[in-house]
Amino acid sequence: MDNLSDSVPFGYTLSQKISVSQVSPTSVTLSSPAIQDDLGNKIKKYTVMYGEYPLAQILQTPALLDQSKEKTFDFPVVNGNLSMALSTTGDGLDPTKVYYVSIIPKDQNGILGEISNEMWFKLSESVS
């Protein structure tokens, strides 16, 4: 978490936002713009952080971070928007709960970039 608040040379900007492109009773698909590092290289690895608590609450109570989950997506080719899916079967989502989600880009050296905006979704009602 400490790395997320430090100044980093790349990552999401205020104009680069993630969105929920599809939500169903069993899965959610996130859409993200492709991020570039400080040298203009396209970032290929993204970690989706999701859990029942918003980031602001986690920052106030760091122990809540242990209840968050992560899923990493590694794209061999990056062109245009990226699509990342989470589901009830593979990612342990409970359709009746509200989840908060953010995405963190990671460069080829393992350095974390600026975190994305935060979204929320609830599968059972197909809302976000």
Give the mean pLDDT of 94-108. 96
For the cut 90, the answer to whether the pLDDT of residue 32 exceeds it is yes
Give the Cα separation of 118 and 60 in Å (integer): 16
* Total count of domains within the chain: 1
Query: Cα 63–102–90 angle (5° rounding)?
Result: 85
pLDDT reported for residue 79: 86
Answer yes or no: is pLDDT of 7 > 80: no
Tens-digit pLDDT profile for residues 34-58: 999 888 889 999 999 999 999 999 9
The pLDDT value recorded for residue 22 is: 96
What pLDDT does 5 receive? 47
Is a pLDDT exceeding 80 seen at residue 1? no
Evaluate if residue 81 carries a pLDDT over 90: yes
Residue of higher predicted confidence among 64 and 8: 64
Residue 21 corresponds to which amino acid? S
Q: Are 85 and 28 in contact (CB under 8 A)?
A: yes
Question: Helix, strand, coil shares of the chain as percentages rounded to 5?
Answer: 20, 40, 45
Q: How far apart are CA 54 and CA 58, in angstroms?
A: 6
Give the CATH number, domain containing residue 71: 2.60.40.10
- Domain limits for position 19: 2-125
Residue 99 has pLDDT above 50, yes or no: yes
Chain centroid offset of residue 32 CA = 9
E strand intervals along the chain = 19-23, 27-32, 45-51, 69-74, 82-87, 98-106, 119-122
